[in-house]
Structures are given as C-alpha cells and as structure tokens.
Structure 1
Amino acid sequence: QNKPRKRVAVLISGTGSNLQALIDACRDTSQGIHADIVLVISNKAGVLGLERAEKAGIPSVFISHREYAKREDFDAEMSKKLLEHNVDLVCLAGFMRVLSEQFVRQWKGRLVNIHPSLLPKHPGLKVQQKALDAGDKESGCTVHFVDEGVDTGGIIVQASVPILPDDTEESLTKRIHVAEHFAFPKALRLLATETVKLSADGKVIFS
C-alpha cells in the first residue's frame, strides 16, 4: 500500500487490555494493519492502560474530566490533543465517559467503540448480567461507529461466544474479552485500509 498509515488514538479509563491487543496487532506485520497508535488518552490517572502506553513508547496523556464543568469543555480538550497528534481514527477501548454530541459530530466516521454484547441486543452497562438474565444462548462483542445514541452506531465487526450453563458474570466477561482482542484489531484493519466507511447518512459501507 502506498497510502500513508492511519494515525490512531485510543481512549481508555482503565486496564487497557483492548489497547494492548491493538498495540500488539499493529506491530505484528503478519496482521497487515495499515495503522499506528500515536496517542493514548485516559480520563483516569495511574491506570494500567497508561503504563501499557509508556511501555510501548506511545505518547499518553491524562485529562481529568473532573476539572471541566461541562462535558463539552472536557471533550474539546481531548479534540485539541487529537488534532495536535494528527489523528485519523479514534478507538474507544473501555472509555467510560459519554461523549458530547459536538465531539461525536466532529469525529463522525472516524470514531469507533467496542461494546461487550451482540448489538443491537443489550446496549448500555452491565450487559453480561443482562445476557445471563435473559437466558441468551450466546453473547459476544461489537465494534461499531459512534453516533449520538448509546451503542446505536453502524456495526463494523461482531464476534460471538457461547453462554455456558454454569456461566457467571465474571466467567462470561472473560470469554468476551478474548473475543474483543480478536474483533477490535480486525475492525481496525478494515478501517485503516478504508475497506469500511460510514456514509453521510450513517450507513456502513464495505468495499
């Protein structure tokens, strides 16, 4: 490919296990992901995800949402950092903040999230328990474009896992994590080569 590699930022709030999966995948030439992670942003200090970035030699920044009276102001500070690093794609990997409409509009088509259910089933929080309570036979994860709704954006990649009779919230979460570490790099590969795009009217287009 002669096109420049996509510059990716990853937004986190915690351990950053999906961040690590993306770092490893981007550096594994056999995976053919035409992208580099150039920035990690966390809204929490001292989290393992920031250590992972440091270990990998990736610039990282902590921005405390508590220091901003309005969500829009916090998001504007993040946007500033993203623009400073010439970021092409933004991946939300366990980022536990609801983003403002302004931020979502600014990064539309370049902003993706990973969610631990097979959307549109079980949006929101505590979804593993929701799947167990509903008696679902399978669960999994979804990588999707972010729009103004909660977990409603166009779907890029899904990976399913079985729900076993003796599953707990914890055991199901672990199994979904394994699927996430496969699905997120797969989605990034499609995004980086522009094999998948978001149309102006919010439809996902694969080419």
Structure 2
Amino acid sequence: MTLPEPMPVVVLISGTGTNLQALIDAIAAGEVRARIAAVISNRPGAGGLERARRAGIPTHVLDHTGYPDRAAFDAALAAAIDSHQPGLVVLAGFMRILTPGFVEHYAGRMINIHPSLLPDFRGLNTHERALRAGVKEHGASVHFVNNELDGGPVIMQARVPVRSDDTPQTLAARVQQREHRLYPRVVGLLADGHLKLQGGEVWFDGTPLDAPLDLDAQASAED
C-alpha cells in the first residue's frame, strides 16, 4: 500500500523557534508524517528563521511594521501561507493578534500552543500567575485557533507538578520541555487524520472529546 504524501505544514514564528525546532527534529526522526513547507516570521531578526534555514526549509519575513493596518498585514500573510497550500498552519510563538477573517479562513486548520492548562491563565505571564494562584499543577495546551484569545477548543495538554521552590523561570523551563513533546504529537495526529474540528468540538478517531487528550496517557496508549 502506498502511503499518502506527508501533510504540508506552514509554521508562523516571532521569536527563537524552540517549538519549531522540536517539530523539525520529530519530522527528521520519522515520528511525525508531515513536511514543513515554509516558516514565516513577522520579525526579521527572529532566531527561528536560522533554525529553518539550517533545516533547508523556505522562509519568509513579513515585517508587520511595514503594513498600514492589521487587515493589510493579515491579507499579505494569508497570501504567503496559501502559496504553499498547507493542510495545517502551526503558530509557534507567533506574537500577533489575528483578524476574524484570517482566523475563519483557516478554521479547523490552524493550531496554537499556550503555556498553561487552558482555560486557566489565558494571555501572558502564565507562570507568574500560576505561582501566585498557588496551583499544584501547571502545563501547556494545544488548541484550535478561534476568535477568542487562547479560547479555541483544546486538543491535548501536558501537565507538570508545581514545586514549592519553583520560580517563574524554573517552572517555565519544565513546561517548555513538555511543549517540545506535546506539539509534535498533536501535529502528527492531525497529519495522520486522527484529529479534526467538527461543530466546534475536537473529534479524535471519530468520537468527540469530552475533555482534552493527555500527552502522557496518549503516549502510553500508543506504546
């Protein structure tokens, strides 16, 4: 039986691109059947661009400061993405609020990773806020993107215990390690057709999820 071609993916970044690197490495290791068709940054100096170039991935820079408004930038960004005909758009530290029309254009085909157990701690400074709140567990979530900031249907989460001596920096480091396993896992499941967004709900292997998948439980089930 001939396997289908790997799903083309476009990754959007604004910074160092550590989650991009995790996805590059997982694809190279044969853990994810996808192909990164392009990496696009809104910041010319983003470190993730060099990661992409080292991996032989085409890059584009669309500096948002060069556009008169958000709509004009999003139109140019959509044109750049669509030139690669991706099956999936992956936001990996892309620090831009996207317009409703842009989000609708990629409905069910665009995902984001957020450093908290959503719906807790949407927005910025999640680790500081988690420590102030005194939670015993923190982590990261991958979700489909909709027009609500960090509010789209959650696909999968990775959890870490909060230690009594944690600082925002130590907690962030442990969460980021988990992100680097979590994001490739979700991309792989989407690329293989196990996951989809239907009726505003996440479906996994033909069944709507009552709660987000758990990274560790999913990994154990597949072993």
What is aligned with 1:117? 116
CA displacement, residues 99-133 of structure 1 (integer Å, 9 cap, x when unaligned): 11011000010000000000011111111111001
2:42 is equivalent to residue 40 of structure 1: no
RMSD, aligned α-carbons = 0.9
What is aligned with 1:12? 13
Contact 1:43-1:63 at 8 Å conserved across structures: yes
Q: 1:130 is aligned with what amino acid?
A: R
What is aligned with 1:58? 57
2:167 is equivalent to residue 146 of structure 1: no
Runs of 4+ in 1 over 2 A off after TM superposition: 1-4
SS at 2:160 equivalent: strand
1:2 Cα deviation after fit: 2.5
SS at 1:118 equivalent: coil
Matching of residues 1-207 of structure 1 within 5 Å: 2-29=3-30, 31=31, 33-199=32-198, 201-207=199-205
User: Aligned partners of 2:71, 2:128: CA distance in 1, in Å?
Assistant: 32
- Unaligned runs of at least 5 residues, structure 1: none
Q: 1:204 is aligned with what amino acid?
A: V
Contact 1:18-1:180 at 8 Å conserved across structures: yes
1:136 Cα deviation after fit: 0.6
Contact 2:139-2:160 at 8 Å conserved across structures: yes
TM-score relative to the length of structure 1? 0.96
User: Aligned partners of 1:191, 1:75: CA distance in 2, in Å?
Assistant: 24
Q: 2:152 is aligned with what amino acid?
A: G
CA displacement, residues 153-201 of structure 1 (integer Å, 9 cap, x when unaligned): 11111000111111111111111100000000010011101100001x2
TM-score relative to the length of structure 2? 0.89
Contact 1:114-1:144 at 8 Å conserved across structures: yes
Contact 1:157-1:186 at 8 Å conserved across structures: no
User: Aligned partners of 2:69, 2:200: CA distance in 1, in Å?
Assistant: 27
SS at 2:166 equivalent: coil
Alignment: residue pair count = 204
User: Aligned partners of 2:23, 2:74: CA distance in 1, in Å?
Assistant: 23
Q: 2:153 is aligned with what amino acid?
A: G
- Unaligned runs of at least 5 residues, structure 2: 206-223
User: Aligned partners of 2:139, 2:23: CA distance in 1, in Å?
Assistant: 18
